[in-house]
Amino acid sequence: MSNRRERRRQKSRNKKNGQHTPLEAGPPAKTGRDLMTEAAQLYEMGDIDGARSTFELIIGMDPGHADALFGLGVLEEQADNAEGAKKHYEAAVTSEPNHAPSLVNLGNALRNERQFEAAIKLLERAADLAPEIPLVHNNFGIALHQGGLIEQAIPVFQKALALAPDFAEAHCNLGAVFADLDKFEQAIDCFERALELLPDFAPAMANLGNALNGLHRIEEAINALEKAVQIDPNLAFAYAKLATVYERMNDLQKSEEYIKKAKNIDPNNPEIWMLNGVILGRNKKVFDGLQEIVRSIKYLYSPNILCRAYFEAGHLSDRLGNYMEAYEYYSSGNSLIEERVATLAVDRDQYLTEINKNINYFDEVRKFSKIKEDGNIDLVFVVGFPRTGTTLLEQILDSHSLIQTIDEKPVIDDTIEYLRDSFGEYPDCLGKINDSNIDSIRSTFFREVRKYIELDNRKTLVYKMPLNIVHVGLIYRLFPKAKIIFTERHPCDACLSCYMQHFNSNRAMMHFTSLESTAKLYALVMGLWQQYSDILPIKWYALRYESLVENFEGTVRSMLNFLELEWDDSVLSYDRHAQNRTILTPSYSQVTQPIYTDSKERWRRYEEQLKPVLPVLEPFIHHFGYDIEPASDNQGS
């Protein structure tokens, strides 16, 4: 290359001096292949200008030379000229449609521009042309994931790993897919494998933190995310996930700090826009928060994050009084959840079947034989339909010095599993419980409780799990002395609020994706509660949500009297107490605020949407003593 340049310079000098350059027999002209080899060698030696000149020389000889066009594209990409790189890749693919390297890089370029459909087509073609190259499958999987075809990305990443089991990035990318599908245990396995291969792989460490947060392992999540930013201080993803964790913990100041850091690194990241909108809304900058969230929606691809964006936009629109707009956002969020239910092939009727089994069993078995007294711990169960104030109530009770609480843990579900394994099908096995086996069953219950808290026999234990209302018959059979607090709220408000929440997907919450299925579940659950309260001598107290927000102290005093506990002034500052706890329900941001009445009678703002389900809810509206017709002081609420 240098000899050729020298000859060119000599010819130029001879021309200037009027000298004739004689023909000389030099080495044979180099072919395109020779020049490509030379360009590669120059590139390896760090002579980028030399490599560029050689690629340009090749293209001068052969304008459609795909390898040279690809080489120029790589150089432009490394020089941060994304548009120039893309043009070279396009020219290479136009000249040679099956040029796999150019297909891959052009696909990646289009993916970065969020042209996912076009990117997926190109990368799929590249994977067909180069089935033996793991990197091609990895890039194809990324495009599928970011393009919203999340389930389809799994076998593509698995193909990459079959070809290269030690491909750390593919392990990390597969884990990110599992995390987006709420398969956090599988995700963690992938991230840990990636970190075994590359211990300082910051994206894997950050994704591990995100998955741990999905399992509510908060301290571990924070540790992993902080380690990720120590490894790579410019990893915006890790800062965004730290902001998410701290917002969930109601530490808005820390969340804002991490959002600012993420924004400085990646100002065009839609997840960061969404999080910033949430914080703005919580700081009462409702309009600005809504604007931030709405602009993020167009660009988000993770179904979980997009789903949250829709629900958050709904909440802020509701606060602004834009009820039709809010309902549209809630509908969009619930549609995404519906898609997840369909994708996972969940049998949502299974939960209804289990409730009906309890209804049928207690239709026939209306009383039990007496059983020996239960334990030394005063035990209280807080039950009710979701969104009837159970989380608020649990925070109030936990602030009392003589109460300890356990919140939304599967203690009853695990006890039922023990019963099934030991005595047969539930609830039929309830008839087999007697004095000879009750101690082992109760021991199982408390063993499950101790997984989550250290029991203090001096305190009343309050176990809050709203839909344990379905298992009140079991609760009475195991603990006939236990007290039950039943939270009630206007059925329309309860159902509407369930529809307006982004719950974790499980067999109960999957019924909240439409007002029709929510009302159907409500009627079934409340019908079973009426059955229990009619036929079983349970000790129960009805705590009305509306009374709690209208007359806080009087309502709480009455409840404490039922529990045979003295008044404790600390319950008045439950909201400050809640700020020091990690709350796992959708009410986490509400129960850290003083009592407010905004959510009372909210259903009247959405009366048109609720009309189709009013016939289902009306019997319970009357049963619990609520009104359907608006009172005069509720007009315009």
Confidence of residue 95 (pLDDT cuts 50, 70, 90): very high
241: pLDDT strictly greater than 70: yes
The stretch 593-603 carries a mean pLDDT of 66
**In a 3-state reduction of DSSP, which class is residue 405?**
strand
pLDDT in tens, 357-379: 999 999 988 778 888 887 678 99
With CA atoms as reference, report the closest residue to 93 among 123, 114, 54. 123
Token representation of residue 90: 């396009």
**In a 3-state reduction of DSSP, which class is residue 578?**
helix
More confident residue, 26 or 351: 351
SS (H, E, C) 459-494: CEEEEECHHHHHHHHHHHHHCCCCEEEEEECCHHHH
Query: Which pLDDT value is given to residue 267?
Result: 94
pLDDT in tens, 484-511: 999 999 999 999 999 999 887 677 888 9
Report the interhelical angle of 134-146 vs 168-180 (nearest 10°): 20
Confidence of residue 573 (pLDDT cuts 50, 70, 90): confident
Which of 22-31, 385-394, 420-429, 545-554 is predicted least confidently?
22-31
Query: Which pLDDT value is given to residue 250?
Result: 84
| Mean predicted lDDT score pLDDT of the chain | 88
Query: Which pLDDT value is given to residue 599?
Result: 65
Alpha helices in 266-375 (DSSP H): 270-282, 286-297, 303-319, 323-343, 349-364
Q: Is the CATH code 3.30.1490.190 the one for domain 366-593? A: no
The stretch 271-278 carries a mean pLDDT of 94
Query: Which pLDDT value is given to residue 347?
Result: 75
How do strand 379-384 and strand 539-544 relate by DSSP bridges? unpaired
Query: Which pLDDT value is given to residue 485?
Result: 98
Query: Which pLDDT value is given to residue 574?
Result: 80
Answer yes or no: are the C-beta atoms of 480 and 374 closer than 8 Å.
yes
Find the angle CA(145)-CA(148)-CA(153) to the nearest 5 degrees. Answer: 35
Confidence of residue 345 (pLDDT cuts 50, 70, 90): low
28: pLDDT strictly greater than 70: no
With CA atoms as reference, report the closest residue to 48 among 75, 87, 86. 75
Q: Is 1 exposed, middle or buried (0-12, 13-18, 19+ CB in 10 A)?
A: middle
200: pLDDT strictly greater than 50: yes
Which of 46-50, 119-123, 204-208, 477-481 is predicted least confidently?
46-50
Q: What is the DSSP string of 346-371?
A: --THHHHHHHHHHHHHHHH-------
Q: Within 10 A of 549 (CB to CB), how many other CB atoms are there?
A: 17
25: pLDDT strictly greater than 70: no
Q: How far apart are CA 416 and CA 410, in angstroms?
A: 10
Tell me the domain boundaries of the chain.
366-593
